[in-house]
Structure 1
Amino acid sequence: MDIKIEPFKPAFFEELLYLMDLNIPLYFAPEEKDDFRNYLENEVEDYYILLVDNKLVGCGGINYDDKNTAVITWDMLHPEYQGQGFGTKLLLFKLDKIKEKTNIERVIVRTSQMAHTFYEKQGFKLLETKKDYWAPGFDLYWMELNV
């Protein structure tokens, strides 16, 4: 099995939208697709794709809120590849990239009740929740990791 993590390129845009479709409605609300499209078009700072045997199976990014905070953004995996360690591999890759920046002291992730345990397993601590934040039935789980 050949596993690669590469920087996002616009050529992957449609595949990433399809990947999101595969994660709706279990992990994302349908109305979040426009937010993801806007993110890819206008807000990408460090965004990566995960390829397994040259098939795009995952993606996720890093943005920077201020001089010492990194924000994990728009992580998702193809449903057929979930629960096999690929998400962990991508997250650890991103955390290594963050650690290369000497000014970053904390990492934030804003996720939902559907994915927060994944981040807890990696050491993120829950700071706050807000019911129906993303959409009805999709609560905010604000989490932090000190690096």
Structure 2
Amino acid sequence: MLIRPYQHTDLSEVLALLSTNIPAYFAPEEYDDLKTYLFHEIEEYYVVEQGDCIVAAGGINYKEQDAYFSWDFVDASMHGTGIGKKLLQHRLERIKEQGNIRRIIVRTSQFAYGFYEKNGFKIKEQHKDYWAPGIDMIYMVYQEH
């Protein structure tokens, strides 16, 4: 398994990877939102390769002294295998290298918040139907152990 920076040549594979999580974890309209992110809003974005395939992706965006996890997902057939945790840990290490970050934030859904909760994030807010009808936004902040 290799975690490496995203390249524009990864676009179709990353979009296909997201599709494995629609509609269970993401709304269909979020497909175009991810494209917009990858073309215009990306700061740090990583992919996880296993063999010749990209099996996970996730990014970090920064605003002042806050770091935000952005667009993270694992191939739906590989949920629960530890790949997501390795990608999360990679990004936490990358953020800690910055030295000036005071909060690490993730905005996720009711379908994925449990993963973040198990990995040190605490719920601060919840907004119903935020991402799409039936997909709430759970605002969480990392609490280092």
TM-score (norm 2): 0.97
SS at 2:111's partner residue?
coil
Aligned-pair RMSD on alpha carbons?
Answer: 0.8
**Alpha-carbon distance in 2 for matches of 1:143, 1:100:** 21
- Select which of 76, 83, 87 maps to 1:86: 83
Aligned to 1:134: 131
Residue of 119, 126, 137 corresponding to 2:116: 119
Alignment of 1:97-112 (within 5 A): 97-112=94-109
Whether contact under 8 Å (1:105, 1:146) holds in the other structure is: no
Contact kept, 8 Å, 2:122 with 2:143, in 1: the verdict is: no
Matches of 1:24 and 1:89, distance apart in 2? 22
Q: CA deviation at 1:146?
A: 4.2
> How many percent of aligned residue pairs carry the same amino acid?
47
1:61-80 alignment to 2 at 5 Å? 61-66=59-64, 68-80=65-77
- Flag structure 2 segments of 5+ consecutive residues without an equivalent: none
Alignment-derived partner of residue 47 in structure 1: 45
Q: Secondary structure at the match of 1:129?
A: strand
| One-letter amino acid matched to 1:54 | D
The code of the aligned residue for 1:136 comes to P
The answer to whether structure 1 residue 60 and structure 2 residue 55 are counterparts is no
What is the match of residue 38 of structure 1?
36
1:11 aligned residue: 9
Which consecutive aligned stretches of 4+ in structure 1 deviate over 3 angstroms post-superposition?
A: none
The one-character-per-residue Cα deviations of 1:77-103 (angstroms, maximum 9, x if unpaired) are 111211010000000000000000010
> Structure 1: which 5+ residue stretches go unaligned?
none
Residues in 1 aligned to 2:39 and 2:53: alpha-carbon distance in whole angstroms: 22
Cα separation, 1, equivalents of 2:47 and 2:91? 11
